[in-house]
């Protein structure tokens, strides 16, 4: 099971772009990279998932270099409502693997 390393916390001003990087040096061939967002006292919410290169949806972009040993979640023009904990997960979707959320990155958006 690939271990992930993320910064514990980050601060950003409203309107800025935020990039959160996750390291996963022992990612396996079948592993996907998934990011979740969690607000206090709520369950996590899926943000984005990718396997390689770049994935973009309506809320975020995910950049994955060719060696796939790291990934970067990019949140464009953050607002106060983006203050949350962001988790990077690496694992084989649908497989018989434990999916470990870790402690995540606590993003604080400052007005």
Partner 1 sequence: EAGVTQSPTHLIKTRGQQATLRCSPISGHTSVYWYQQALGLGLQFLLWYDEGEERNRGNFPPRFSGRQFPNYSSELNVNALELEDSALYLCASSPLPFRTGEKYEQFFGPGTRLTVL
Tell me if 102 contacts partner 1 by CB under 8 A: yes
Work out whether 103 is an interface residue with partner 1 (CB under 8 A). yes
Whole-angstrom distance, CA of residue 30 vs CA of residue 91: 8
Min. distance of Cβ 36 from partner 1 in angstroms? 8
Q: What is the DSSP string of 45-56?
A: EEEEEESSEEEE
Nearer to partner 1, 45 or 69 (CB): 45
Nearest to 63 by CA among 79, 77, 48: 48
Is residue 13 within the footprint of partner 1 (CB under 8 A)?
no
Neighbours of 6 (CB within 10 A): 22
Report, in Å, the least distance between residue 95 CB and partner 1: 8
Residues that bind partner 1 (CB under 8 A): 32, 34, 41-46, 49, 87, 93-104
């Amino acid at each position: 099971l690939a271990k992930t390393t993320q910064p514990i916390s980050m601060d950003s001003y409203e309107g800025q772009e935020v990039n959160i990087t996750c390291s996963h040096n022992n990612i396996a061939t079948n592993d996907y990279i998934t990011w979740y967002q969690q607000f206090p006292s709520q369950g996590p919410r899926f943000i984005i998932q990718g396997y390689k290169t770049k994935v973009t949806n309506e809320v975020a972009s995910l950049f994955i270099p060719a060696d796939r040993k790291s990934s970067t979640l990019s949140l464009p023009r953050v607002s106060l409502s983006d203050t949350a904990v962001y988790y990077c997960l690496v694992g084989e979707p649908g497989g018989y693997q434990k999916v470990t959320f870790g402690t995540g990155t606590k993003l604080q958006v400052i007005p």
